[in-house]
Amino acid sequence: MVPVPIVNNMSYCMGAMSGQIDESIVNVDPVGGYNRSDFELRWYGAGVTPSNTYSITAPTPITTFAGITTYWVSQYNKVTAEESDIISFEITVYPLPITGQITATPAVICEGTTVELQVTGHSSDVTLTWNDNTLVGNSIQTGTTVQARPVYTGGSNHRSTCTYTVTIISNNVGCASTNTVQVEVDEPLNAQMEDKNICEGDRVTLDASPYQATSYVWVASTDIALRYGSTLSERPEATTTYYVAMERGECTANDEIIVTVNSNPRILRIDSIDVKAREIIAMEGFGTPPFIYAVDDQPFDFDPFKYDLLSGMHTFRVIDLYGCQSQAYVYVMGGTESSNSSVPVSVIKTYPNPFTDKLKIEKAANYHLTVTNMQGRIQYQRANLTDNETILTSGWVAGTYFITISSQDNHIVKKVVKY
């Protein structure tokens, strides 16, 4: 009499890769002094009853569907040609837990924003496990709801995708299902603009394009008008703070830039030292010391005295600590200035101030006249004035101008404004 094989009922989770039935499930019982090789297992299929035919190849359990399947097997002694009774054993395939629906709120964020991840509609009597380094708190957590702080990892259009996976494990049999949700993460707007120093009358360009935003809105501390665009070009009259608000996707950023407007130096007068030497005298309260000085195209230095001047018109220049500058013009002819006026500058009149289409100068006979704008550029120039001069100014740009009136012994600078 051949004993039946040793069998064990087994269970799998649905979808598991089981492989052929092996000795962990069914094994030969080599009794009666025979060797293991003297026996073989004969398989009679799966079903309610055994098949009429057998196979010596072990079947592979099907785990595609949940349920209980009965398999039939016997033990055959190849030496005595005897076979045991056909017995049955069961393999159970357990269903996977229902994963339900997983949501991320919000689903599109700027890096640094906290997201709530939640699972609803899942099977009961299960454990939900999350495992991700961006979870708030511990990287491994359990529960239907957790919080995460996704990180931007690089991608086109400054947006990347972060995928979260929850594992749902049935508590009674240990089968597991997974579900995923994606969060779109926008790259933060990271940059910084530096404060700027400019000279009075200069234009400044503010560039926020390093932020790589898609929307820029500017406003200045001096008014409420809105400006748009990644760059801003302004000519502030005084120190001004500019604020810019930027957006790209779900990310926003704000920056502020202080533009300090430094006053230009002013040349009060050009004093005669001797026939071919002059001293540049700067006005107090204008510009930021220390000053450097030059005449014509000569190099700048810290010496306000300029020597060996040739006959003709000379441009005297002064630059301050921030590079702001001013200039004045004096004629030197044959070692002396070309003007021989003896009228004191105190009686010279310039009017109206402010002016619009004309500017009058009186009692400046034989003086030299130079008008410069805020940038030191010559707007108008004339030598040997008459006692009554009228300058037509309708084509001039509105703004501040400096009138330099000079002679051999006198020099005066007047500030006028055109409306």
Mean pLDDT of 360-366: 90
Residue with the bigger pLDDT between 407 and 94: it is 94
pLDDT-based confidence at residue 337 (cuts at 50, 70, 90): very low
Residues 6+ apart with CB under 8 A from 400: 201, 373, 374, 415, 416, 417, 418
Pick the CATH number of 196-262 from 3.40.50, 2.160.20, 3.30.565, 2.60.40: 2.60.40
Chain-centre distance for alpha carbon 378: 44
| Phi, psi torsion values for 45, nearest 5 degrees | 80, -170
**Which pLDDT score is estimated for 342?**
54
pLDDT-based confidence at residue 339 (cuts at 50, 70, 90): very low
Reported residue count of the chain is 419
| Rounded distance between C-alpha atoms, residue 151 and residue 190, angstroms | 14
CB 47 within 8 A of CB 128: no
pLDDT-based confidence at residue 177 (cuts at 50, 70, 90): very high
pLDDT-based confidence at residue 336 (cuts at 50, 70, 90): very low
Range(s) for CATH 2.60.40.10 in the chain? Answer: 6-94, 101-186
In this structure, what token pair is assigned to residue 318?
């002064």
| Range from 42-56, 167-181, 254-268, 365-379 carrying the lowest mean pLDDT | 365-379
Model confidence over 248-305: pLDDT tens digits? 999 999 999 999 999 999 988 888 888 888 999 999 999 999 999 999 999 999 999 9
Residue with the bigger pLDDT between 369 and 406: it is 369
Model confidence over 69-89: pLDDT tens digits? 999 999 999 999 999 999 999
Query: CA 325 → CA 251, 266, 412, distances in Å?
Result: 43, 8, 17
In this structure, what token pair is assigned to residue 100?
């339900």
Q: What is the DSSP letter of 210?
A: G
**Mean pLDDT score across all residues of the chain:** 91
Neighbouring-strand partners of residue 327:
317
Q: What is the CATH number of domain 101-186?
A: 2.60.40.10
Q: For strand 82-83 and strand 87-94, is the pairing parallel, antiparallel, or unpaired?
A: unpaired
Q: Which of 225, 217, 204 is nearest to 243 (CA)?
A: 217
User: What's the whole-model pTM score?
Assistant: 0.68
Q: Which of 9, 38, 43, 14 is nearest to 24 (CA)?
A: 9
CB 39 within 8 A of CB 59: no
- Cβ density class 65-94: b for 16+ within 10 Å, e for less: eeeebebbbbbbbeeeeeebebbbbebebb
Mean pLDDT of 329-356: 72
3-state helix, strand, coil in the chain (%, to 5): 5, 50, 45
Mean pLDDT of 397-419: 84
Handedness of CA 135, 136, 140, 143 (dihedral sign): negative
Measured between its terminal Cα atoms, the distance across the chain in Å is: 126
In this structure, whether the domain defined by 267-418 belongs to CATH 3.60.15.10 is answered with no
**Which pLDDT score is estimated for 338?**
41
Model confidence over 22-44: pLDDT tens digits? 888 889 888 878 888 999 999 99
Residue 340, pLDDT above cutoff 60: no
**Which pLDDT score is estimated for 45?**
94
Asked if the peptide bond before residue 30 counts as cis, ω within 30 degrees of 0, the response is: no
Mean pLDDT of 50-68: 94
**Which pLDDT score is estimated for 228?**
97
Model confidence over 296-323: pLDDT tens digits? 999 999 999 999 998 888 999 999 999 9
Query: CA 84 → CA 30, 38, 57, distances in Å?
Result: 12, 14, 17
Long-range CB contacts (< 8 A, 24+ apart) of 6-10? 7/73, 7/87, 7/89, 8/89, 9/89, 9/90, 9/91, 9/92, 10/61, 10/89, 10/90, 10/91, 10/92
Fold of 6-94: Immunoglobulin-like (2.60.40)
| Range from 100-109, 161-170, 334-343, 396-405 carrying the lowest mean pLDDT | 334-343
